[in-house]
Amino acid sequence: MNSNIRFVQGNEACVEAALYAGLDFFAGYPITPSTEIAEHLSYRLPEIGGKFIQMEDEIASICAIVGASLTGHKVMTATSGPGFSLMQEGLGYAIMAEIPCVIVNVQRGGPSTGLPTSVSQGDVFQARWGAHGDHSIIALTASNHQDVFSITVEAFNMAETYRTPVILLFDEVIGHMRERLVVPEKGEIALVDRLRTSVKEGVDYHPYLPREDGRLPMSDFGGIHRYNVTGLAHDMWGFPTNNPNIVHGLMRHLVDKIQSHVNTITRYKEFYTQDAECLLISYGSSARSALHVVENRRARGERIGLLELQTLWPFPYAMIREKCDKARHIVVVEMNMGQVVRAVKQAVDRPDRVVLANRIDGSFITPTDIKNILRLIQGKGV
């Protein structure tokens, strides 16, 4: 029997994946529905010599992981809506100072304390624009535990590749639901390690001077290069500056390093999209109900398909436009008042083709909810 087969919550799948990816420092604060991630890591990390710390709040949690990342560790924190709001300040810092880290947001109902134990996908735009100022961000999601595993590993890889925080935007259903997970063998999924500078001791190291490919090799705190890290606009030494030319270059770099790699960062899955007249677009746990509808209706000969997004930010506008090209109807299935649907409308020609099938009451969106919208579109009444 394969001992790698597990029956776990999504939060545990995330933990297993993070450890697989090389996580060895976690700081967090208890919050439903993400707490299991902290609980499992408090047990698992010391087993491998890693560190777990429960901080005084979410602000401190994200700050602590940034500090630990700078000493050369792979780091993560996990939270939900209210905690994610508190983390925006630290998230902005990690963006500005270009610190690799992974932030898990297991979404629950909001705003405010909202519905702590209920599902929602209301933080899509907070993930994109929650931190102040212009910036770019990577946010990934998944609809089942096998994908939670692979996308979590991807999150760590992307954080190292682009020297940036990566957000894992899961939701309560994914976090708490139990299902089968096959933990891949070591080496099955490629891992990206920290890119460290080859500049020798005594030679001037420029921590913020990008190479030709846009990447910035790092040097661990405690190593041979002593440099400054700041959340202020900074020059190639990491020292504060308000020189317009340098600031302009920094802003372009921060945005371009992600936006110019949209194609590489984009992850999605397709089900029966080839000839689909009606294309559902969904992500996270909502995509499970969407897939159910598609498979049911395909069996009856309907030309309906599902595009499941795993990369939410940077938004894959070009891919969406191409996939939606031939569809008569596009239905975005999500558990909020219409967030991804806005981006989809921006992406396609004739945005009047795009409608929303949603649920905003803390209940999981069902196939019936989606079918009701399809009946309206197809002129069959409610």
Partner 1 sequence: MNIKGYIRERFFPHLWCPGCGHGIVLNSLLRAIDQLGMNKNELVMVSGIGCSSRISGYVDFHSLHTLHGRALAFATGVKLSRPELNVIVPMGDGDALAIGGNHFIHACRRNIAMTAIVMNNRIYGMTGGQFSPLSGYGIQATTAPYGNIDHDFDVVQLSMSAGASFVARTTTYHAKEMIDIFKQAILHDGFSVVEVLSQCPTYFGRRNKMGSAADMMESFKNNTTRIGSKAKEENPNLLERGVFVRKDIPEYCAEYDKIIGNAMKGHK
Which of 10, 33, 81, 90 is close enough to bind partner 1 by CB under 8 A? 90
Mark 69-102 as b/e (b = at least 16 C-beta within 10 Å): bbebbbbbbbbbbbbbbbbbbbbbbbbbbbbbbb
Q: Does 249 bind partner 1 (CB under 8 A)?
A: no
Of the ranges 185-193, 233-241, 262-270, 341-349, which one interacts with partner 1 (CB under 8 A)?
Answer: 233-241
Look up residue 208 and give its DSSP letter: T
Q: Which two tokens stand for residue 322?
A: 């191409």
Q: Does 133 bind partner 1 (CB under 8 A)?
A: no
Which of 73, 176, 288, 359 is close enough to bind partner 1 by CB under 8 A? 73
Nearer to partner 1, 57 or 361 (CB): 57
Strand runs labelled E in 115-158 = 115-119, 138-140
Which of 21, 23, 38, 60 is close enough to bind partner 1 by CB under 8 A? 60
Closest approach of partner 1 to the CB of residue 23, in Å: 12
CB within 8 Å of 140: residues ≥ 6 apart: 151, 154, 155, 158, 166, 167, 168, 169, 267, 310, 311, 312
Nearer to partner 1, 54 or 113 (CB): 54
Nearer to partner 1, 27 or 192 (CB): 27
Strand 115-119 with 165-171, pairing: unpaired
Q: Which two tokens stand for residue 346?
A: 């921006």
Q: Does 39 bind partner 1 (CB under 8 A)?
A: no
Of the ranges 66-74, 104-112, 142-150, 284-292, which one interacts with partner 1 (CB under 8 A)?
Answer: 66-74
CB within 8 Å of 78: residues ≥ 6 apart: 11, 14, 26, 28, 34, 37, 38, 103, 104, 105, 106
Q: What angle do CA 375, 287, 181 make, to 5 degrees?
A: 150
Closest approach of partner 1 to the CB of residue 352, in Å: 44
Question: Measured between alpha carbons, how far is 93 from 224 in angstroms, rounded to an integer?
Answer: 24
Of the ranges 232-240, 242-250, 256-264, 298-306, which one interacts with partner 1 (CB under 8 A)?
Answer: 232-240
Closest approach of partner 1 to the CB of residue 229, in Å: 5
Nearest residue to 107 (alpha-carbon basis) of 127, 87, 121: 121
Q: Does 240 bind partner 1 (CB under 8 A)?
A: yes
Q: Which two tokens stand for residue 312?
A: 């939410």
Q: Does 232 bind partner 1 (CB under 8 A)?
A: yes
Of the ranges 9-17, 49-57, 265-273, 307-315, which one interacts with partner 1 (CB under 8 A)?
Answer: 49-57
Nearer to partner 1, 182 or 224 (CB): 224
Cross-strand partners of 168: 104, 140
Closest approach of partner 1 to the CB of residue 290, in Å: 39
Which of 6, 32, 39, 67 is close enough to bind partner 1 by CB under 8 A? 67
Closest approach of partner 1 to the CB of residue 77, in Å: 10
How many C-beta atoms lie closer than 10 Å to residue 2's C-beta? 7
Contacting residues toward partner 1, per CB under 8 A: 25, 27, 43, 46-47, 49, 51, 53, 55-57, 59-61, 63-73, 75, 89-90, 93, 221-224, 226-232, 237, 239-240
